[in-house]
């Protein structure tokens, strides 16, 4: 029965990857990557039960944390072209004006 | 009793997996970022919730920490996925994406994003953006942090 759950989660992973490749806007890709991360957490937990390795739950817990932080970080980078925020971008501009993306 | 728990856990895992698959189908087939967000949140709540509940029924909340870790994962997902979805929708609206509607007209009801006075974060962001753009126009002046 855990194998059935694994297969369903794997199909969802493939669909989310399809959306991440095809997505017209960058927000589509971020939604798809976020869903992909959630499905990865579920797949890790299911695999931990399938192969009888309880340490996979620790990895899944850590992955859930990293997934959230990564989504917020990518959003902030898309919004400001800089992980430090808008005013820090203004501080960096006189030195590296050619490096700015937008 | 064990058989009953097994059947219950089997039903939970398979139902959760089916919800995950539905969310993936919605992620591919729905027309718009916001509707796709709606589909993705299905996997975050019902899919993950049912799968993890089924696994908790398998493991039991016993002496080893397996069940407690599963519950921790579930609680953490339930807290973080609405925050991430809200940040995503906010960023997409702020970027000027118009929500899809069946007749092609944008819906009349918007978020507070159209009125910067009622949304302090939006007002701050717009001030920062306009300050940054003004600075880009006038590159040689290094001062420009009055938006903060």
* Three-class secondary structure assignment of chain B: CHHHHHHHHHHHHHHHHHHHHHHHHHHHHCCCHHHHHHHHHHHHHHHHHHHHHHHHHHHCCCCCCHHHHHHHHHHHHHHHHHHHHHHHHHHHHHCCCCCCCCCCCCCCCCCHHHCHHHCHHHHHHHHHHHHHHHHHHCCCCCCCHHHC
Section B69-73 average pLDDT: 91
Q: pLDDT, tens digit, for every residue of A8-21?
A: 999 999 999 999 99
Distance from the A88 Cα atom to the nearest Cα atom in chain B, whole angstroms: 9
Q: Is the pLDDT of residue B43 over 50?
A: yes
Clarify whether residues B61 and B100 are in a common domain.
yes
Q: Is residue B39 part of a domain?
A: yes
Same domain assignment for residues B121 and B94: no
Chain A residues inside the 8 Å CB shell of B131: 86, 90
What is the domain extent for residue B130? 109-139
Residue B7 at interface with chain A, using a CB cutoff of 8 Å: no
Examine residue B81 and state whether it is found in any structural domain, yes or no. yes
Residue B76 and residue B130 in one domain:
no
Shared domain for B99 and B118, answered yes or no, is: no
Structural domain tally of chain B?
2
Kindly state whether residues B97 and B62 are assigned to the same domain: yes
| B78 in contact with chain A, both atoms CB, cutoff 8 A | no
Using an 8 Å CB-CB cutoff, list chain A residues near B48: 38, 41-42
Q: Give the domain ranges of chain A.
A: 57-96
The whole model's pTM is what? Answer: 0.75
Task: Show residues of chain A in contact with B36, CB under 8 Å.
Answer: 19, 28, 31-32
Whether residues B62 and B30 share a domain: the answer is yes
């Amino acid at each position: 029965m855990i194998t059935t759950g694994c297969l369903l989660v794997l199909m969802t992973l493939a669909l989310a990857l399809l959306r991440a490749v095809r997505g017209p806007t960058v927000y589509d890709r971020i939604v798809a990557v976020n869903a992909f991360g959630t499905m990865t957490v579920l797949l890790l937990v299911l695999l931990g039960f399938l192969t009888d390795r309880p340490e996979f739950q620790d990895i899944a817990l850590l992955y859930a944390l990293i997934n959230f932080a990564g989504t917020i970080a990518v959003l902030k980078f898309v919004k400001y072209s800089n992980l430090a925020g808008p005013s820090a971008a203004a501080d960096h501009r006189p030195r590296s004006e050619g490096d700015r993306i937008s | 009793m064990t058989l009953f728990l097994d059947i219950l856990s089997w039903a939970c895992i398979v139902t959760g997996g089916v919800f995950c698959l539905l969310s993936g189908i919605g992620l591919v087939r729905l027309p718009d970022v916001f509707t796709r967000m709606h589909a993705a949140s299905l996997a975050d709540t019902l899919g993950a919730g049912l799968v993890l509940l089924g696994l908790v029924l398998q493991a039991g909340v016993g002496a080893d920490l397996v069940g407690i870790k599963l519950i921790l994962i579930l609680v953490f997902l339930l807290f973080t996925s609405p925050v991430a979805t809200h940040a995503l929708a906010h960023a997409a609206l702020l970027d000027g994406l118009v929500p899809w509607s069946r007749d092609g007209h944008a819906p009349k009801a918007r978020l507070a994003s159209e009125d910067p006075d009622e949304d302090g974060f939006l007002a701050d962001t717009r001030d920062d953006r306009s300050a940054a753009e003004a600075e880009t126009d006038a590159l040689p002046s290094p001062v420009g942090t009055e938006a903060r």
